[in-house]
């Protein structure tokens, strides 16, 4: 599920995470002004953030899907579907008189547990990266590092081998 978890370090993910939280709070407080309810604003903000972050995952699953000979797995259709879902949800939340507190608490508990699982997995992967780097640096002794650096180093006046190819015609069939 987390195919690229080792591509970035935990420190590199902090700024995007903070920006996401700030954007979510802005959305939440904006929806609070429209819906006049903390619970409804929280539900709508949660749905919006959920759809935003899972758009790519859903798109990759349905990108080649066809319905009656029409490729429905395109951005214009998926975006339209997401917009309709958001608008219908906003309309329903404005009109409903149901007490949604218990539902909101359940979603909050689910989100908190999900966040904990993700943070543990990211922290574990980051720890493994640091341990692997430390192990590699400990395996290379200073003497071997100097020998390797001397064998691979070029004189400072030597120019590197760089090839710049310019094709002046297109290849034929």
Q: What is the pLDDT of residues 98-130, one digit of tens each?
A: 888 888 888 888 888 888 887 788 778 778 777
Reported pTM = 0.62
Can you list the residues of the chain whose pLDDT is less than 50? 1
Q: How far is CA 170 from CA 131, 163, 167, in A?
A: 49, 20, 8
Dist. CA 169–CA 171, nearest whole Å: 6
Place of tokens 């917009």: 83
Bridge partners of residue 66, in order along the sequence: 71
Which residues touch 20 (CB under 8 Å, ≥6 apart)? 49
Dist. CA 82–CA 34, nearest whole Å: 20
Element containing residue 161 per DSSP (H, E): none
What local confidence, expressed as pLDDT, does residue 16 receive?
A: 86
């Amino acid at each position: 599920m987390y195919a690229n978890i080792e591509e970035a370090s935990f420190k590199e993910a902090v700024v995007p995470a903070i920006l996401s939280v700030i954007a979510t709070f802005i959305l939440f407080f904006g929806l609070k002004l429209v819906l006049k309810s903390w619970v409804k604003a929280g539900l709508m903000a949660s749905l919006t953030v959920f759809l935003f972050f899972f758009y790519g995952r859903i798109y990759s699953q349905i990108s080649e899907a066809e319905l009656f000979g029409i490729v429905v797995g395109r951005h214009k259709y998926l975006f339209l579907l997401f917009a309709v879902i958001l608008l219908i949800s906003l309309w329903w939340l404005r009109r409903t008189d149901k007490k949604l507190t218990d539902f909101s608490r359940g979603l909050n508990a689910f989100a908190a547990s999900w966040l904990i699982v993700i943070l543990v997995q990211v922290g574990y992967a980051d720890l493994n990266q640091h341990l692997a780097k430390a192990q590699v640096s400990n395996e290379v002794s200073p003497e071997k590092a100097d020998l390797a650096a001397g064998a691979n180093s070029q004189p400072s006046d030597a120019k590197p081998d760089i090839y710049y190819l310019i094709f002046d015609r297109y290849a034929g069939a």
